[in-house]
Amino acid sequence: MPELPEVETVRTGLQQALVGRRFEKVVARRPDLRFPIPADLSERLEGRTVLEARRRAKYLQIVLDDADPSPTVVVLHLGMSGRVNLLPPGDEPFPEPAKHDHLVFDLSDGGRMTYNDPRRFGFLDLMREDELASHDWFRDMGPEPLGNDFHADALNKALAGKATPIKSVLLDQRVVAGLGNIYVCEALYDSGISPRRKASTVPGKRAERLVPAIRDVLQRAIASGGSTLRDYARLDGESGYFQHEFRVYDREGEACRHDGCGGTIQRIVQSGRSTFFCSGCQR
């Protein structure tokens, strides 16, 4: 599943490609993805201009120019295999949409955006901007890990009294928004914290190491265009490159890269997900 850096990479591409353009024609080629597609999607989007492309956790938010009583926001989640593709304007007609191009958006500059999702675990909905904060998807979300509200004091409060392993707690979107399995493994490795450690024992000096480690790994991943392990690609069709920089994820049996450690990367399963770590230097 695309995680925060991958979704942020898509958001950046949408901001560059969509802002100031109108949706001239919008076609839903099936009635549903994971959830039903709004029946009035075309009616509400066609003729509307994009003001901004945002991200909240792993959700994309495309803000439109109608403001009565507040702007319409297209909320899109990529699910397991969702991809947003952009086709630039050209002299030739666009080819027929591909088999899994479930949504097609023709733009006022002559370009086209498609949403392709073979597994159909992604979903799209329309909301008013003033409804977002109270919606079930966003109401209980924790702070953005790259935002000003995420710091050691906030993490200390969120972890207090939790006997669950720190790895599982960091994947809880109510604690911090947008973190996924890959980047939690990487951040715990960089901060020297065992994924099996009880979350209640992390506040203090460990949390002071963990917060900057989370920020650093996310920023490095965004700079590399995210990680491509299976289906993810950027809007230009290129793969992300951060998988080549993994220090621990998917490196079971390999030597630890921390100087002087001498340990070996291990894999365990926590809450149904693979966790990669070094027992020699993560305590």
Which of 2, 5, 145, 195 is an active site residue? Answer: 2
Q: Nearest Cα to 111, choosing from 95, 87, 92?
A: 87
Q: C-alpha distances in angstroms, 49 versus 66, 112, 129, 168, 262? A: 8, 14, 15, 40, 56
Burial environment of residue 134 by CB neighbours within 10 A (0 to 12, 13 to 18, 19 or more): exposed
Q: Nearest Cα to 211, choosing from 271, 143, 141, 138?
A: 143
Task: Please give the helix or strand (H or E) that residue 213 lies within, else none.
Answer: helix 205-223
| Residue 217 dihedral angles phi and psi, to the nearest 5° | -65, -35
Question: How many Å apart are CA 132 and CA 121, to the nearest integer?
Answer: 21
Which of 29, 34, 267, 273 is an active site residue? Answer: 273
> Is 2 a catalytic site residue?
yes
> Is 267 a catalytic site residue?
no
> Is 208 a catalytic site residue?
no
Which residues on adjacent β-strands are paired with residue 277? 266
Question: How many Å apart are CA 15 and CA 85, to the nearest integer?
Answer: 13
Q: C-alpha distances in angstroms, 48 versus 42, 198, 201, 226? A: 10, 49, 51, 30
> Is 167 a catalytic site residue?
no
Which of 22, 56, 58, 234 is an active site residue? Answer: 58
Q: C-alpha distances in angstroms, 71 versus 10, 38, 126? A: 21, 17, 10
Which residues on adjacent β-strands are paired with residue 278? 265
What residues act catalytically?
2-3, 58, 273
